Structure 1
Amino acid sequence: MRTAYSVETVRAAERELMARLPEGALMLRAAAGLAAVCAGLLTRRRGRVYGARVVLLVGPGDNGGDALYAGARLARRGAGVTAVPMDPERMHTGGLAALRAAGGRVEQAVPQRADLVVDGLLGIGGRGGLRPAGAALAERIPPGVPVVAVDLPSGVDADTGEVAGPAVTADVTVTFGAYKPGLLIDPGATRAGAVHLVDIGLELPEPEVEALQHADVAGLLPQPTASSDKYRRGVVGIVAGSAQYPGAAVLAVAGALRGGAGAVRYVGPAADSVLARYPETLIGPGRVQAWVIGPGLGEGRVGEVADLLAGDTAVLVDADGLRGLDPAVLRARTAPTLLTPHAGEAAALLGVSRESVEAGRLAAVRRLAERYGATVLLKGSTTLVASAGGRPVRVNPTGTPWLATAGSGDVLSGLAGSLLAGGLSGADAGAVGAYLHGLAARRTGGPLLAHQVAEALPSAWRDTRS
């Protein structure tokens, strides 16, 4: 499990550790890790560190100090290191002395020839994007030169991933002690590049954000036993499709059939289309362990959604089923409820603009979970899964832009609903479903069709167990 922690949590852990260490020791640990990553990058690109031209963009805080101390290490290995301060009067005193003692220099303008740029302008406490002085330096980064960000790209909000103004786009981010949510959640994650975690010895409590990995998914996937039959493995019911959108029903069933449940039951007007493609499907009402309702449902079928929500069976609501949901009805439910909106549907549920949801995905998914008393899977560039009650938000690491295609969400709904019927909680069904869905899409490549994602799910499933 990859875990991420808020700025407040990281700062508290740093203070506790610094109280037990000699002054400056924690910064030197961080700088050593940063310098090692920079040296490795230079070696891969140039064959050696000696003779490399390194530019440090230096802010007035601890990130600037980290950059200066790391620059001193690189200078001692023969690199030519130039520090360019955002504010020449507020450079870290110890870091500046170390850099100069190692042969580094300070200049007021960003050199236009460099082999590596280190972004140490803002730390994890920065908010609201780069101010004009920092933005002016970032704009002068030579095109094509790799950028290594210190802790996170300057201008990215560490707690949310929001980018509210000018910001650095890094090729590599070296983060200290713990991942920060903004490194895992877009739009910040897109600017972070490859993220390297440097362990500096922090002791941390429960995280704010977590991301599953293969081993976590493998441990959650339902596994048949010798005594299993199709009913013990769970039956998922699909209420989807319409005369206008029969394909939504077919795709939801496709995902459900590959989600581990013992049987899939379809109820709706697209039964002929479903059976023609998947004769394994049961047709008509019957007992199920979880329902999926909404894909391609069309208008005028709100009553079907209300009927399922009035029952005591787990329900996943997607697409057209999300229209007009009553928060009071959902909060009163005792059975698991999983909502799977995209940004536009989330905006409608919250009564805000789509742009505000996309700019602040973490805040949006948390608000939805609390308002509706349900687990919410917010689809998008980084899919997030949040539950009411303050549990860590899960961020899916396997997505790909190729999933932005018609019908892929229908496949995900069927898959997650099948996992729900197989006994997983709403949070686990959503997170595992998103993980497998993204992994299957990566295996398929692109451009892809939604049914190809469904067909690749068994191999993605096997990947997590290998």
Structure 2
Amino acid sequence: MKNLPIIDKNSNYVVSAAEMKRCDAATISEFGVPQDVLMERAALSICKYVKKALPEGGKVLILAGSGNNGGDGIAAARLLFQDKIPVTLVLVNHSLSDKASNTKRTSACSSQLKIALSYGLNVVDFDQSKLGSQIKKCDVIIDAMLGIGCSRDLTGDYSAAVWEINYSREDYDGKFPHVIAADIPTGINSDTGQVHGYAIRADETVTFGFLKMGLVFYPGAAHAGEIHIVNVGITEDGFLKDYPKFKYVDIPDKKEIPVKLLPPRNPAGNKGSFGKVLVVAGSKKISGACIMAAESCIRSGAGMIKVYTDEANLSAIQTLLPEAMTDTYTEEGFNLSDTIEYSKSKEALISAIGWADAIICGPGIGINNSAKEIMKIILQNAVLPLILDADALNIISSEKDIRDLVCAYNADIIMTPHLAEFSRLSGKDIHDCRTCIMDETARLAKEFHASIICKDARSVISDGERNFINISGNDGMATAGSGDVLAGLLGALVLSGYSDVFEAAVAGAYLHGVAGDMAAVKHGRQGMTARDISGSLRDIFSGNMSC
């Protein structure tokens, strides 16, 4: 698998429950790190964030399940107790008095409970009728009930405990206790982020070793609160070179993005050497898409851009984007029955293709016959990096001959479908796509021999072999034109010096999201526009960050 020299230095793994368990087990069995040591370090990490949130003289309530996540919670309770912090430990789904509970507990959990009891810690069995009053007496709640072990709807004590905590939050007078989840909030599927009946709504989540899938995807991400990834002694060595399938770009200090994520520019370069991008966008009824894509492209480092669009958009482009060159066409020019006009239009488009180093095709072009003919000409005559977005994707979904041309295209492609476009490309219902978004993105990438960015609240990026999840961005980016800005950004980045177009696609998705986060800070999620995102790209490239 080809390395990504820039992205690999600035990315980390995001893991499934099975991948995390495998790494955890290998850390113990292959490297000899005792489980008790890992649990103690996890507990110390929890205590660190509890102490930050706890007011002076405050009290802590810890709900601990019968597995290793419960063991982490019990160990944290004992450490806090030893620091003279008032703690109540509630056993959920196991009890002190029931001998059958001994078989429920993992050996590590049993060991931690024995130690806690020997120190005289206040340990009680779960009683739903008493939990409300226990909550009112505490300042911090630690959820250590299930961790990554939740794979089905909660029942019994687990369901009752989560319901009581969430209900108490809504019915609480005054300041509700600060809730900290250990590893992942109880009730969240660690692989999908789905809620299994009920789920803890945490203010913070202290997760161990690696970011979990369930903390990335919604609704799990919304339940996690602020996420802290802590090192407890489990490292990527524990994967024994069988590494997780997905990674994400991680640059904590956003001011370092220009240095860490952008290829160096040639100080002796010129507008020709920095790349010429042909933007095939817009139609008679839609002018904004071509302007936003072209503006984003020129702001992202392209040396020259040429907009190929319907003649109705010429005046708008010349007024709003004087940096852009233009070639125009008419819908009638691609009427196959008028061979002379069609020949002229085709020659003009082929000439524009010959001028370019990369092509963006799709934003606002429509799905009429002229748009289809334009796509055919590009796919049959270009051998350049090609970004396909918006209407181009809808045409591919409906026209088998054009879909076949995409599959046979003899150069690199990036496709940027949002979930509805992705659904049409895959032939699956949107709901079904969301549940299999990771596998289906990789499948489509293999079919089209392309890098695909499936745009959603968490975008999945795949070339069929390498896979990333983008975690930058926010809901304010769900606004008209946001995808056009991404397409323009990608058009510039594929010519910027990345190792391949997939690396450019991963970088582009991340930068687009960061620009969206900056726009949200400046303008608010409610009021931000696509051009605010485009404007923020310049701030990223300059290092003038405000998010």
Q: What is residue 93 of structure 1 aligned with on the other side?
A: 110
Return the match for 2:304 from 263, 273, 288.
263
Shift of 1:17: 2.1
* Compared CA separation, residues 373 and 169, structure 1 to 2 (3 A): farther
Q: Please say which of residues 85-94 and 338-347 is displaced more in the overlay.
A: 85-94
User: Residue 244 of structure 1: SS of its match in structure 2?
Assistant: coil
TM-aligned CA deviation for residue 139 of structure 1: 1.0
Contact 1:256 1:416 in 2 (8 A): yes
Does residue 183 (structure 1) correspond to residue 215 (structure 2)? The answer is yes
Q: Tell me if the contact between 2:276 and 2:357 (Cα under 8 Å) persists in the aligned partners.
A: yes
**Paired residue for 1:308?**
378
Q: Check the 8 A contact 1:396/1:431 in 2, yes or no.
A: no
Superposed, 1:2-41 pairs within 5 Å as 2-19=12-29, 20-22=32-34, 24-41=36-53
After superposition, the Cα gap between the structure-2 partners of 1:366 and 1:198, relative to the gap in structure 1 and judged at 3 Å, is same
Q: Which moved more, 1:304-313 or 1:247-256?
A: 304-313
Structure 1: tracts of 5 or more residues without a match: none
C-alpha distance in 1 between matches for 2:321 and 2:185: 48
Structure 1 residues 65 and 414 mapped into 2: Cα distance closer, same or farther (>3 Å)?
A: same
Tell me the amino acid that sits aligned with residue 387 of structure 2: L
1:40 maps to amino acid: K
Residue aligning to 1:412:
486
Q: Which of 283, 288, 293 is the equivalent residue of 1:252? A: 293
C-alpha spacing 1:164/1:410, structure 2 compared with 1 (3 Å): farther
Structure (1 or 2) with the greater helix fraction:
2
Q: Which has the larger radius of gyration?
A: 2
How big is the shift at 1:4?
A: 1.9
**CA distance in structure 2 between the partners assigned to 1:119 and 1:370 by the alignment:** 41
One of 271, 275, 293 as aligned partner of 2:361: 293
Counterparts in 2 of 1:26 and 1:396: CA distance versus 1, 3 Å:
closer
Contact map agreement 2:367 2:395 (CA 8 A) in 1: no
**CA distance 1:68–1:137, shift in 2 (3 Å):** same
Matches within 5 A, 1:217-256: 218-256=259-297
- Distance in 2 of aligned mates of 1:172 and 1:322: 39
Return the TM-score normalized by structure 2.
Answer: 0.78
Whether 1:318 aligns to 2:407 is no
CA contact (8 A) 1:290 1:417 kept: yes
The answer to whether the 8 A contact 1:55-1:84 is kept is no
Q: Cα 1:68–1:427, aligned 2, differ >3 Å: closer, same or farther?
A: same
Q: Aligned AA for 2:384?
A: T
Any idea what SS the aligned residue of 2:148 has? Answer: coil
- Distance of 1:246 and 1:335 partners within structure 2: 28
Kept in 2: contact 1:155–1:163 (CA 8 A): yes
Q: How big is each residue's C-alpha offset from its partner over 1:151-173, in whole Å with a ceiling of 9 and x where there is no partner?
A: 11222232333445432222111
User: What is the total number of aligned residue pairs between the two structures?
Assistant: 458
Residues 156/432 of structure 1: CA separation in 2 closer, same or farther (3 Å cut): same
C-alpha distance after superposition, 1:410-448 (max 9, x if no partner): 111111111113343332322322333232233333211
Give the alignment of 1:87-166 within 5 angstroms: 87-88=94-95, 89=101, 90-91=104-105, 92-100=109-117, 101-109=119-127, 110=131, 111-113=134-136, 114-141=138-165, 142-143=168-169, 144-166=176-198
Counterpart position of 1:438: 513
Shift of 1:239: 0.7
CA shift digits 1:139-158 (9 cap, x unpaired): 11131322211111222232
The residue type paired with residue 186 of structure 1 is Y
Q: Distance in 2 between matches of 1:167 and 1:321?
A: 40
Counterpart check, 1:388 vs 2:464? yes
Match among 406, 410, 428 for residue 503 of structure 2: 428
TM-score, normalised via structure 1 length: 0.91
State yes or no: 1:282 paired with 2:353. Answer: no
Aligned to 2:7: none
| 8 Å contact kept, 2:47–2:80 | yes
Mapped to 2, the partners of 1:415 and 1:13 lie a distance apart of 37
Shift of 1:210: 1.9
- Tell me: CA distance 1:278–1:392, structure 2 relative to 1, closer, same or farther (3 Å): same
Cα distance change, pair 281–365 in 1 and its aligned pair in 2 (3 A)? same
Distance 2:479 2:386 in 1: 24
Aligned counterparts of 1:342 and 1:449: Cα–Cα separation in 2:
17
Rate the CA distance shift 1:238–1:212 in 2: closer, same or farther, 3 A. Answer: farther
1:203 aligns with 2:240: no
Gaps of 5+ in 2: 1-10, 96-100, 170-175, 328-351
Cα deviation, residue 183, structure 1: 2.0
Tell me the CA shift for residue 191 of structure 1.
1.9
Query: How far apart in 1 are the matches of 2:429 and 2:156?
Result: 28
The 3 A distance-change label for structure 1 pair 359 and 118 is: farther
Question: Aligned partners of 2:405 and 2:93: how far apart in 1?
Answer: 54
Q: Report deviation, 1:70.
A: 0.7
Determine the C-alpha separation between the residues in 2 that align with 1:393 and 1:217. 20
